[in-house]
Amino acid sequence: MGGDYVTESVAGCLAALRPAVERDWTKVRAAGLEWNCHETAVHIADDLIAYAANLAGRAQDAYVPFELKLDEGTDNAGLLHVIETTGALLAAAVRTAPRETRAFHPYPFRSANREGFAAMGIAEVVLHTRDLAGGLGLAYEPPSALAEFVLTRLFPHVQPGPDHWRTLLWATGRGELPGRTPLTEWRWNNNLVLSADRLTLQGITPAAARDLVAGGDGGFEWIDGGPFDGTREASGFLLKAYEGGVHRPEFGVFALVRREDGRAIGGIGFHGAPDEEGRAEIGYDLVEGGRGNGYATEALRALSQWALARDDVRTLFATVERDNLPSQAVVTRAGFRKVSEVEEGLAYELRD
């Protein structure tokens, strides 16, 4: 789907800009930007090929070191052909990248998966096509599905609005929405991924959460019996927070994915952002076939270490049912200590 959406976004860009192909784009400023229209169009192509290169080349620490340079004398028609070609390369990279592939991107967690690169490419295309069209006096509006794809992958912190395109414009400082303060600064968010010895903890996006709630796999390949009901329920809470505009993705839900085979075995995450005292609650579950191997302890240690290294987290706690002895052993091995008994069960705590 991501590759097809990249292709669709580029096709819409070409269709919108071709009526002005005979004009001098170097003499027209793109709407809302310091660049002229020629510079903006080159920027689109430059981002598309950079994303394709990083994803296909599995870059880990920086962008692949090369620069896009047009041949001298390239006209606007040739520039559009470059955008078409670089878009095709990104679409191909997205379609062929293995599920677990992640590559470098600086914001905000220094990596992105194939859906993230697709969403970033689409964002660059549709937003800057809008800027170009505005400067050139052309009509342009992408399909709503493209804007929704970007919002649910890159803007999990932005409350969805009734119109996906206008919400994306607002989220990128390009428009207004009733009841919301206009933005002068913005940044997108690829999903956070944390590393453990045998697992990766992969942040679940609103798009993945919606699919899990609907009975799908959320884009993960699960072992038999997965995902467990607890992961679907937690995804429902994530989706509710997203729709309410209070979701903080770093304090959301993570899928537990085995390094050895790329298959998901469970979920772990927070019940919400830390409170004013820096307290946050953690919950987790495993598919039955993944239990008894120490995975839950490993995941809980990794997530706890990451959380307590933050300035806004001082205490983590978890509630375990009284008769759930395996889970009590998990929290104890992860360093939590029992502090009280509550109606829901036994309360455990881990302090910075």
> Are residues 87 and 213 both part of a single domain?
no
Question: What does the pLDDT read at residue 343?
Answer: 83
Please indicate, yes or no, if residue 184 is contained in any of the structural domains: no
Phi-psi region of 305 (alpha: psi -120 to 50; beta: other; left: phi over 0): alpha
> Are residues 202 and 158 both part of a single domain?
no
Please indicate, yes or no, if residue 187 is contained in any of the structural domains: no
Domain end position, chosen among 171, 203, 235 = 171
Please indicate, yes or no, if residue 183 is contained in any of the structural domains: no
> Are residues 210 and 155 both part of a single domain?
no
pLDDT in tens, 237-247: 999 999 999 99
- DSSP symbols for 183-209: PS-----PPPEEE-SSEEEEEPPHHHH
> Are residues 221 and 156 both part of a single domain?
no
Please indicate, yes or no, if residue 42 is contained in any of the structural domains: yes
Instruction: Count the neighbouring beta carbons within 10 Å of the beta carbon of residue 38.
Output: 19
Please indicate, yes or no, if residue 86 is contained in any of the structural domains: yes
> Are residues 147 and 251 both part of a single domain?
no
Q: Is the dihedral of CA 130, 131, 135, 136 positive or negative?
A: negative
The number of domains in the chain is: 2
Q: Which helix (H) or strand (E) holds 270?
A: strand 263-270
Decide if pLDDT at 44 tops 80: yes
Please indicate, yes or no, if residue 249 is contained in any of the structural domains: yes
Closest CA to 55 of 128, 12, 116: 116
The amino acid at residue 87 is G
Domain end position, chosen among 113, 138, 171 = 171
pLDDT in tens, 193-222: 999 999 999 999 999 999 999 999 999 999
Decide if pLDDT at 74 tops 80: yes
Decide if pLDDT at 344 tops 90: no
Quote the CA–CA distance of 26 and 76 in Å, as a whole number: 10
Quote the CA–CA distance of 321 and 331 in Å, as a whole number: 12
Question: What does the pLDDT read at residue 107?
Answer: 83
Question: What does the pLDDT read at residue 1?
Answer: 74
Percent of the chain surpassing pLDDT 90: 97
Quote the CA–CA distance of 342 and 124 in Å, as a whole number: 50
* Domain region containing 149: 2-171
> Are residues 298 and 149 both part of a single domain?
no
> Are residues 227 and 258 both part of a single domain?
yes
> Are residues 163 and 197 both part of a single domain?
no
Domain end position, chosen among 171, 204, 229 = 171
> Are residues 151 and 35 both part of a single domain?
yes
> Are residues 166 and 201 both part of a single domain?
no
CATH number of domain containing 118: 1.20.120.450
Please indicate, yes or no, if residue 248 is contained in any of the structural domains: yes
125 within 8 A of 136, measured Cβ to Cβ: no
pLDDT in tens, 177-188: 999 999 999 999
pTM of the model: 0.94
Question: What does the pLDDT read at residue 352?
Answer: 83
Q: Is the dihedral of CA 163, 10, 7, 2 positive or negative?
A: negative
Quote the CA–CA distance of 138 and 126 in Å, as a whole number: 14
> Are residues 202 and 130 both part of a single domain?
no
Quote the CA–CA distance of 134 and 21 in Å, as a whole number: 15
CATH number of domain containing 309: 3.40.630.30
Please indicate, yes or no, if residue 186 is contained in any of the structural domains: no
> Are residues 138 and 257 both part of a single domain?
no
